[in-house]
Amino acid sequence: SSMRLLAVFLLVGTATAQQAQFQTKFQTIVSTYLGTNLGKACDLVAVDVLKLLPMANMTAHLMKEAIGLVPSTKYLSAIGMLSTYQSCLEKAGSNMEKAMTVVGGAFKLKMQPLYKKVMDKVKAMRTNGKTDAEIRPEGFKIATAGLTKLLIQGIINVCMTQSTKAEYDCALAPLKTIMQTSLYNMTYNPTIG
């Protein structure tokens, strides 16, 4: 009984360590915007992965929860930023729905191989009778290895190819607020894809 308890603590510690490594890498190469709420976002995705949800469902779930993941100290500025972004898009002859479709499409296209790799591992471990507590750190290990600047630049590049210069220019201010844009080529190039 005490050995089982020790095993549970070790698994939780491993999961926590793997998640911490992912979060550190995410903050280093993608964004620090969510602050301490990044853990909640990771938990949300991890639970969806363990449920074997399709990527579209996971993305929709994350988008639905997005505003709740914004730290309360940034909530009003986030609402203002979205409002400004929407106004800019409208002046550019576009709208938020098109912008989100572009981002969602780029995300799905570039994330699909990593998503498949994680899902294949989850399914294989489930087949071998592993518990969620054993599976979760392995998922974070794969996600951490797959989260690269090349992947993020690829998502940005696809967004460029699917956007007009005016639409892309509207996105730059919000991106500079929420992303580590200095690490990436953000110069508009519609043929970069």
Which pLDDT belongs to residue 64?
Answer: 87
Q: Is residue 189 part of a domain?
A: no
Across all residues in the chain, what is the average pLDDT?
90
Q: Tell me which residue range forms the domain holding 66.
A: 2-183
Q: Is residue 178 part of a domain?
A: yes
Q: Is residue 40 part of a domain?
A: yes
For residues 7 and 186, the model is more confident at: 186
CA-wise closest residue to 50 among 148, 143, 113: 143
Q: Is residue 193 part of a domain?
A: no
Which pLDDT belongs to residue 17?
Answer: 85
**Model pLDDT for residues 136-168, shown as the tens digit of each residue:** 999 999 999 999 999 999 999 999 999 999 999
Amino acid letter, residue 172? L
Q: Is residue 117 part of a domain?
A: yes
Which pLDDT belongs to residue 28?
Answer: 97
Q: Is residue 164 part of a domain?
A: yes
Name the pTM for this structure: 0.88
Which pLDDT belongs to residue 63?
Answer: 83
Whether the Cβ atoms of residue 172 and residue 88 lie closer than 8 Å to each other: no
**Model pLDDT for residues 41-81, shown as the tens digit of each residue:** 999 999 999 999 999 898 888 888 888 899 999 999 999 99
Q: Is residue 83 part of a domain?
A: yes
For residues 153 and 11, the model is more confident at: 153
Total domains, the chain: 1
For residues 17 and 121, the model is more confident at: 121
Give the Cα separation of 45 and 19 in Å (integer). Answer: 11
Which pLDDT belongs to residue 51?
Answer: 95
Structure tokens at 118: 């994680």
Q: CA 26 → CA 40, 53, 137, distances in Å? A: 14, 22, 16
State yes or no: pLDDT of 170 exceeds 80: yes
Q: Is residue 190 part of a domain?
A: no
